[in-house]
Amino acid sequence: MVIGGILAGGLGTRMSGGGLPKQFLKVGGKPVIIRTLERFLNHDGIDRVVIAMNESWMDYCRELLQEYELDLARVTIVTGGETRFDSLLCLANACVEISEVAGHMGEITMINHD
């Protein structure tokens, strides 16, 4: 089982996004997080996707997933941590849990694409 992970916990305080974190800003009429998820979900090699984000934006993200009709069964949103590293740990723990529940526990490889 291959699980893609997205770190989307930033609040975009250095950007002037009108109060929206940068992952929710629209590029070409579509939020960045949706564009990213579509790429992950349309990749033949990725079975599931986990997003780590700030808890206060989780409901908004779920609303976007429904609005853009993404495959909700393949996306898990988890609360991120105080730092990027903490969010990475939250994401990794969620991946392990998903793999264990699905009976696909095996080698875990993390690849960072900044």
Q: Write down the pLDDT at residue 112.
A: 55
> What pLDDT score was predicted for residue 9?
79
Burial-class residue 83 by CB neighbours within 10 Å (0-12, 13-18, 19+): exposed
| pLDDT averaged over 10-residue windows placed end to end, the chain, 114 residues | 86 63 90 94 91 93 95 92 90 87 64 55
Q: What is the pLDDT of residue 96?
A: 86
pLDDT of residue 111: 56
pLDDT number for residue 22: 86
Q: What is the pTM of this model?
A: 0.83
Helical pair 32-41 and 58-67, crossing angle rounded to 10 deg: 60
CA–CA distance, 71 with 10 (Å, rounded to integer): 24
From residue 88, how far is each of 25, 38, 54, 91, 95 by CA, in Å? Answer: 22, 21, 12, 5, 11
Q: In Å, what is the CA distance from 50 to each residue of 1, 15, 74?
A: 13, 25, 8
